[in-house]
Amino acid sequence: MDQKVANSIRPVAQLVRGHETADGDGVRLTRVIGGPALPMLDPFLLLDEFRSDDPDDYIGGFPPHPHRGFETVTYLLHGRMRHGDNAGHSGVIEHGGVQWMTAGRGIVHSEMPEQEDGLLAGFQLWVNLPAADKMMAPRYQEFGVAAIPVERREGGVEVRVVAGTTASGTQGPVRELITPVSYFDVTLPAGTAFEEALAAERNVFVFVFEGRVHIQGQSIEAFSLAVLGPGAQVRIEADDDSRLLLVSGRPLGEPVARGGPFVMNTEAEVRQAYNDYRAGRF
Ligand code: FE2
């Protein structure tokens, strides 16, 4: 690797505002990755942010629907979501908890709010699987807030480590990831800074959901995503009390064929997924 990249701080390569859309049974959400501005950031196929205290925006939830070929990561900030699938797996994701679902060869599941009022807020991220693992058996990793370690740093900076390991060795509970990913939820009081080494080979994004930060002179407002450019270090400075997701992943570099809830390598594999689903082979 180029020595300059090895030592350098990653700049902001692209700033993205999500766009308002609806999915499932009329759930209002903001699509940040997977829309026209940023169709994907290998290995990430989609990032949705949902946040509403109006039940009309979320009460319909996501009735049964299939997935094949990737992983869905649901991280809940507020509220409760009930999850169930066609293999009999079910559970409730509570605020501060995560569900890392590897759809593999296919599941049909529902994701429904377990509340009739109050704030529901969180994220769903889709992580692509390599060709060799797209047809693996489905599996789940689910952890409540108590299982997610909080690394406390100088100045009141807190890092909730959902997946991956920080430079100081705090390891998230989600393990044995097929596609190497780190997923940190970082809280920064105004005037503090956060630094972290992230492998230069990885694609990295920052999604600010409270406050305002800057990275290498570029200001990033709440509800904006910054794709970071080449480098090995991340340095984020908080202008206001801020909170953000810092997510990194090793790109797969493989062809991507998308068809709604199926993400494969070729169009023929997507057609096969539709055929298998219709024929009840999930
Ligand atoms: Fe889903």
* Predicted confidence (pLDDT) per residue in 31-64, tens digit: 999 999 999 999 999 999 999 999 999 999 999 9
Whole-number pLDDT of residue 96:
97
Whole-number pLDDT of residue 261:
96
Whole-number pLDDT of residue 7:
72
Whole-number pLDDT of residue 1:
52
pTM: 0.96
- Report whether 144 contacts 173 (CB < 8 A): no
CA of 11 to the centre of ligand 1 (A): 33
Whole-number pLDDT of residue 176:
87
Distance of CA 138 to the CA centre of its chain: 18
Low-confidence ranges of the chain (pLDDT < 50): none
CA of 191 to the centre of ligand 1 (A): 38
Whole-number pLDDT of residue 4:
66
Domain 3-278 has CATH 2.60.120.10: yes
CA of 43 to the centre of ligand 1 (A): 18
Count helices and strands (H / E) in the chain.
2, 24
Q: How far from 34 is each of 7, 51, 66, 229, CA to CA, in Å?
A: 31, 18, 18, 19
Whole-number pLDDT of residue 157:
98
Whole-number pLDDT of residue 3:
62
CA of 214 to the centre of ligand 1 (A): 33
CA of 24 to the centre of ligand 1 (A): 9
